[in-house]
Structure 1
Amino acid sequence: MLQRLDGMMSYVDALRTTSHEFMNKLHVILGLLNMKSYGKLEEYVLQTAHRYQADIGDIQHRIKSPVVAGFLISKIQRATECGFTLTLAEESLVPDCPNEKQVTVLVTVLGNLIENALDAMSGQAEGEIGLLLHYQDGWLSGEVSDDGPGIPENNIDAIFNKGFSTKGENRGVGLFLANQQLRELGGTLAVESEPGVFTQFFVHLPWDSKRKPA
């Protein structure tokens, strides 16, 4: 039940972020209309549309699963809202997957890793999250990296334990559940980190694709 709830929360968060982003843009448009700044309005709308189409088209070209593509678009917007950058590697290729559980687990795991990275970098003036997704022979591999503060060496073996967190009480459940769901599918989750330099997670799970991405 907790696993299903965690997956549902990832979807809800993706929808919330997308809705919030569009509302922000709508407020800018309404403000420019009220000020009768029609030249600036046209420029803003064209720039926004161009950027949106470029991002959407690029992700849809490489990520064939509509759920995963929509999720990544929302997380890119979420990172931007936080003042950071989430970049999908150009070599990323993910075919569509008819297995709903595998898709849900991937979204749950990536959602936890990305949110943890944003949380870790929250005290920084700038930061970047890198994401690489690659399919081969029935398996999907992913790498999520960030240039945040890193994980202390004495904590590295405990981060997947239920309830472990350096952020206080009622934390440390998401990563535990994400790892548990991966293991139930026969997948794995590993991490490397150098304090003060980077943290990188490695995701590996079965992916029931009927065809390879073009």
Structure 2
Amino acid sequence: MDLTNSTPLKLALIVASNREGRFGPVVADWFTARTAERDDFTTDVVDLVEVDLPTALSHSPGPAVRAELDKVSPVLAGADAFVVLTPEYNHSFPASLKSLIDWHYGEWQAKPVGFVSYGGISGGLRAVEQLRQVYAEMHAVTVRDTVSFHQAHGRFDEDGNPTDPTGPDAAAKTMLDQLAWWAHALRDAKSVRPYAG
């Protein structure tokens, strides 16, 4: 008996930077072109420049906060998997991303998370290592392989394409393959037995 669910996985791509002049949309456009080539994912983009969540949490958020949550919470809840696209700010990840994570809990549980990072010499990998700890606390599973752009501004041409696409394309395929495996496994498992989070 085949217990697998062949319905395409719902992937939420979270664009974490909300700084003026940010480079994230360039990387996001490249990455969504990679996911569009696959038939196992449908992709929704959650761009945090469009969301204004406060850092102070509340058990009963007011109307303004609720309106901001309504922009993102349904997408996160409906997702089977996540890819977090993050820069590295001061050896860490953006406050906008931490707010998004902290305002949600069940939406992350028993789902896989992949990472695309960019930055200077580290390529955002220090931000990714911190995010692994945060997502573990959310009961999410992070996949091992990542996509990382070191000195990112010099790695893309004026049309937004990597100057040498071989490495990034291969890294994206590996990460998405791992993400798909975990997303299918966890979605199938949850259809049989609810997660005990």
Instruction: Identify whether the pair has TM-score above 0.5, normalized to the shorter chain.
Output: no
TM-score by length of 1: 0.24
Instruction: Give the structure with the higher percent helix.
Output: 1
The structure having more radius of gyration, on CA atoms, is 1
TM-score computed with the length of structure 2 as normaliser: 0.26
